[in-house]
Chain A
Amino acid sequence: MDETAQFIDFCINILFPALADGLMITVLLVLITAPFGIAFGVLLAVGRVYGKSYGNWICRLFVGFVKGCPLMLLLFILYFGLPTVPYVGVTFDAFTASIIGFICCNSAYNSEYVRGAIISVKEGQLIAASALGMTKRQAIMYIVLPQALRRAIPGLSNEFIYLIKYSSLAYMITLVELTGAGKIVFTKYFEPGVFFVVGIVYLALVTVTTVGANALEKKYAVPGTQKR
């Protein structure tokens, strides 16, 4: 049997089944995190742009904290650190801790894109909405956000792609996701080809995301407005 055939055999019988489990975890992590990450990202952005006093400060503080903290450290704190805090200590399993950490990170960065997009909506839009008798909340919901979110799609999809990749950090707190699954197989069989295969899987995930995001952007493009 030549080397290629051997490697293919190895992939089919050993690597793929192992990676499949890891891929499942990675996909779950991403698909659970993303909706919350976007929803909270939008809330944080609205809070930062329109929020008054407390709301505004809480949003800024949160984003500042998350941006200032290495994600791996945040995961360590959530997984290893929190259970040791007296009285308030809570214990998360690795999956939950990862999800919480990723939602924090994803929403903080999403909020940057959405905030920029909100600010870029022309002032007249809000003025016209107010003049029609819309409350601030209505004007934000029905006029500003629909425009801002369209503009935020490229940024949000970018963040989604980062999420796919940094979800591998979950392995640092024992969760065997895609990268972790590959690492385990490698350790056992010393087959460096494993990492190329894992890389191709990530590439596929990212490509699907990019295609999806482009389709979304196209679908929601406002006719008559020429982009780029």
Chain B
Amino acid sequence: MASVPGTSDSGEVRRRDFIYIATGAFGAVGVGAVAVPFINQMNPSADVRAMATTEVDISAIEEGMAIKTIWQSKPVFVKRLTAAEIAEANKVDLASLRDPETLADRTKPGKTEWLVTLGVCTHLGCVPLGAGQGESKGDFNGYFCPCHGSHYDTAGRIRKGPAPYNLVVPPYEFTSDTIVQIG
């Protein structure tokens, strides 16, 4: 049989093989490039990402009380710990913690009584109880997530249940003695 253009019997790479692979590869890269915007469009849009900082006035919070506020559409707890709660948090042996952190690691220097955390359970994102008056504080006197039973201690650290991490401390700073700016 007469040889078809681009083929050879000797088994070396044929010109046609190269053309097939090059065309296929070019096509695949093209499809991949087109897929990027279609996937990326689902990421948080610019207006959502631009969500500004939140300022909280903490002057009315008494010892042992907490308030809830919203930052980046997530709830935030600002809690003023009592001396007993601080002592309880400092008493804990770090080695026994799932996510070892001291209360000092989780608060600003000189402001250990102010515990600012996201009100988002690190398990599957429910709002834990314990910030509102009369709500259950769980076995460790901090927060309790009723969804699947995660218990957090007075420093918002995970102590029991399925959640893997301590309640997240968002970026924040004290702009004055009574104003906290989150974000």
Instruction: Decide whether A and B assemble into one complex.
Output: no
B-to-A contact residues, CB < 8 Å:
none
A-to-B contact residues, CB < 8 Å:
none
